Amino acid sequence: MNQLCFQLKGTVVTAIVLELYRYDREQFAGGLAEKVRQAPMFFQQTPVVISLEKLETAAADIDFADMISLCREFGLRPMAFKGGDGDAAASLEARGLARIPAGSTARAAMPESRSEPEPAAPMPAAPKPAAPEVVVRTVVEEKLVHRPSKVITRPVRSGQQVYAEGADLIVLAAVSEGAEILADGHIHVYGALRGRALAGVRGDESARVFCQSLEAELVSIAGNFKLSDGLRELIWKAPAQLYLKDDTLHVMAL
């Protein structure tokens, strides 16, 4: 019998990033209403991360309490934020939102380590000069470990989530409504794609989604997504690929 009270485990949770440029209450409410109208079930109880990294107006001019209240009225659940100055961060933290730190740089220099100079050997004549001081600088380069593609041979059922960390994901069957598939790389579905597919979840904008029949609730690449209503206007129930260009998600027939 397990005597532990709890365990802490890492997992992948899908969250919508609300990238804020400016805040106008009427425009904000109207935009949210339109998004929820397109996919009402998708936006119910959906976790939201508010990004202030591209904010064009002063954070002091934004009523964050009002904005969070509007989000909750439409079924969204703000849980965290990114970016923002000290006042904005303090305001959001006071309302229970966690701060997500900015990503680390690709290269980080470690503190310098200096070797001790060699002592001069005693000689009856002129003393031997000490060895020159050597400075050793260690540079750590962060790399995403690329793993073999993850292959799923059975249908992905409603409520299931499959994640290919550091790899492409290949599904040799259908993805049901309510299912979710995620990959750091590309996604290939050799069947009907009816659930949610999120490729490039760590920001790889070159990732693509391929499927034999596009019937998805949502498709996302590097955080840029289209819902089923938008997909129906382009390609529906047909082989397709989706890719990102200039921060816009494009859909093309195969």
pLDDT at residue 104, rounded to an integer: 38
- Whether 78 maps to a domain, the answer reads yes
Boundary residue ending a domain (100, 132, 166): 100
Domains: count for the chain: 2
Residues of the chain under the 50 pLDDT cut: 104-115, 138-142
Q: What is the mean pLDDT of the chain?
A: 83
| 85 and 156 inside one domain | no
pLDDT at residue 121, rounded to an integer: 56
pLDDT tens digits for range 43-92: 778 899 999 888 887 877 889 999 999 999 988 999 999 888 778 888 89
173: which DSSP letter?
Answer: S
- Whether 203 maps to a domain, the answer reads yes
pLDDT at residue 85, rounded to an integer: 78
- Whether 54 maps to a domain, the answer reads yes
Percent of the chain, pLDDT > 90? 48
* Amino acid making up residue 193: L
C-alpha distances (whole Å) from 69 to each of 29, 76, 77, 94, 191 are 11, 9, 9, 14, 40
The residue with tokens 């040799």 is: 172
- Whether 80 maps to a domain, the answer reads yes
* pTM over cut 0.85: no
Domain of 42? 16-100
Q: Residue 39 sits in a domain of what CATH number?
A: 3.30.70.260
Assess contact for 106 and 142: CB atoms under 8 A. Answer: yes
Q: Specify which residues 245 forms β-bridges with.
A: 248
Boundary residue ending a domain (100, 116, 136): 100
Assess contact for 82 and 102: CB atoms under 8 A. Answer: yes
